[in-house]
Amino acid sequence: METTDNPETLPERPYAENATHANLEKIQIQMSAFGMKNLEKLQIDRHFYEELAGAREAAYEHGIDGAQWMLDHYAINLADFQAVVIKWMTEQNTHYSSADIRHFAAYHQQKKTEYAHRFADGKNGSRPNNIDG
């Protein structure tokens, strides 16, 4: 992040500074083994990431807190998920491939639609807790 007083970057500064705020640095979030396994899979499996991103969007569109839904079903908190969002966006921008972008956009939409149907049917988007499948 730029640290000069450039008017274009001033609005962003508080968000960058919060990441190093003394009180925030003391926070230690405990994660279950289930959450760690899901987070690890999220970081290495782009399809799993797109599925959860689509599910989260579908949840919000159905009046469900998508971040809380992800925490309840996968034990992944919003901060950890957002870090993975940045990872995959950086990866996509670094290794640009229109075919990959189209593939993952279509997969994302497919999963979003699947979860939208589950939420509409009152199933709360639940699926078996088998993350290996």
Q: Is the pLDDT of residue 130 over 50?
A: no
pLDDT confidence of residue 60: 96
**Is the pTM of the predicted complex or chain greater than 0.85?**
no
Least confident span in 12-26, 39-53, 54-68: 12-26
**Sign of the four-CA dihedral 119, 73, 76, 42:** negative
Angle at Cα 51 formed by Cα 46 and Cα 109, nearest 5°?
Answer: 105
In one letter, which amino acid is 74?
A: Y
Spatial separation of the C-alpha atoms in residues 118 and 58, rounded to whole Å: 9
pLDDT tens string 80-100: 999 999 999 999 999 989 999
What are the strands, taking DSSP E only, across the chain?
none
